[in-house]
Amino acid sequence: MSSGAMFWWNMLKQMGAVYECPKDSQGIRLGPLVGYAGKDEDGVAYVGDVYANLAVLERHPEYLASIANMLIETHPVLSTANVFCGAPEGGKSLALLLARQRQVTYCYPDQEVVKGTRDKKLEFLRHEGTLQGKYVVIVEDVLNNFSTTDTLISLIEEQGGHVVAIAGVLNRSLVVEDRWHDLLVCSAIRRPIHQYRQTDDEVKDDIAKGNVVLKPKHEWERLAYAMRHFPA
């Protein structure tokens, strides 16, 4: 990581927003694996050893505002936007602060349940009709597989808007550095974080033993306890 990214990463760690699975000298996990939002081709959640819980960061708006200010100062493309669109749910707070800093418009799509299923889709309802002819930055908290990003690009274009960049706190993608298609990706932290299929050799024993927390935000205290009990 760059020195700037390391600064923000350490800030997240100090506020208790980062889980890094403790391991012994032989690499045996002393804490649980964590689940990620992304899913493999069989619809099963990926898992890994590191998790950034940016819901913790949202509770400290002064730090999130500092990240917003830094992003605007270091990425001139963000100053060309007149709308910041927050991806539910994690991107909303940062998008609002970016819009406030630039004194421009803020919006977000709603998550609607698909009738007859438990699936959700994104749709502009509350903020419908606000993007015609606008230059839009899509804002997320964590960037990884960019599937939500692609959905939002399509929705914004359907509303007559033009996406000019993508912004976020953490870009943890293994393959995307600073460009997604032809759009600049602006993040405070660029740190690739490896993920595994639950059948991969590196994790299958832990999965078989149930040594995994698939919804880290719901069991954050358990993860924090593991790090306190087995400090690096």
Which is higher by pLDDT, 185 or 115?
A: 185
- Cα separation, 232 vs 198, in Å, equals 25
Query: Which are the contacts of 1, defined by CB distance < 8 A and separation ≥ 6?
Result: 9, 189, 190, 191
- Cα separation, 213 vs 39, in Å, equals 15
Q: pLDDT class for 114, splitting at 50, 70, 90?
A: low
DSSP state of 219: G
The per-residue pLDDT of the chain, averaged, comes to 93
Q: pLDDT class for 216, splitting at 50, 70, 90?
A: very high
pLDDT at 117 over 70: no
Burial (0-12, 13-18, 19+ Cβ within 10 Å), 201: exposed
154 to each of 137, 147, 149, 151, 161, how far by Cα in Å? 13, 11, 9, 5, 10
